[in-house]
Copies of this chain bind each other. A is one copy, B any other.
Amino acid sequence: MAKKAAKRKPDAPADAGDDTVITALRLGSAALTPAMQAYFDKCMDRLGFVPNVLKAYAFDMPKLEAFVAMYNDLMLAPSGLSKLEREMIAVAVSSQNRCYYCLVAHGAAVRGLAEDAVLGELMAMNYRAARLDRRRRAMLDFAVKLTAEPWTIDDADRAALRQAGFSDRDIWDIAAVAGFFNMSNRVASATDMRPNSIYHGQNRA
């Protein structure tokens, strides 16, 4: 993979820079707290890299720690939603908001968790084109409506989730994950955040 990447033409090194200049803002840097250093080390161990969003927040430790705590709780803690389902919400919401960073990073996650090279594409391009079961379609319909027109969400929308088998706690989790990516999409778009270039090739087959 690395060898082929070297073939990229000199006039189009779009992603090379993405790993060194991560946002359009010049924000100083801060020393990582021990907890955050340990977290970055864990990223290196498990992923082989530190996701750029973490580097972007690392100019200020309280902001980084708050982001990491919320992210890990939402995406990794026990939930009635599988990790794949939470990543599917992440990508469908990011597609509605056309967020480059999140589509690249979480599209790779969907491909990996599903062991399906195509599902991440479907979420990024138009989740309605994916042949989903009723549960997942209802989940994404809610998340995307909540993204596009949150003011119209109503008892009928919650009832549709319950009819698709979701508990009230699941509804909270769908809302919270959708909400979180509505936040992250906007921080990424506001700062022109660039994803690590390694994501592009991950889990493609």
Residues of A within 8 A of B (CB): 1-2, 4-5, 7-9, 12, 14-15, 24-27, 59, 62-63, 65-67, 69-70, 73, 77, 95, 97-100, 103-104, 114-119, 121-122, 124-126, 128-131, 142, 146-147, 150-155, 158, 168-169, 171-172, 174-176, 178-180, 182-187, 189-192, 197, 200-201, 204-205
| SS class, residues of chain A in contact with chain B | helix
* B174 & A9 in contact (Cβ 8 Å cutoff): no
Q: Can you report 13 residue pairs joining A to B where beta carbons are below 8 Å apart?
A: A7-B205, A12-B116, A14-B118, A15-B117, A59-B169, A62-B69, A153-B189, A171-B190, A175-B190, A179-B182, A179-B183, A179-B187, A200-B205
Contact assessment for B125 and A98 in the assembled complex, using a CB-CB cutoff below 8 Å: yes
Known: A8-B205, A150-B185. 9 other contacts (CB 8 A): A14-B119, A15-B117, A25-B172, A62-B73, A95-B98, A99-B150, A100-B125, A171-B191, A182-B182
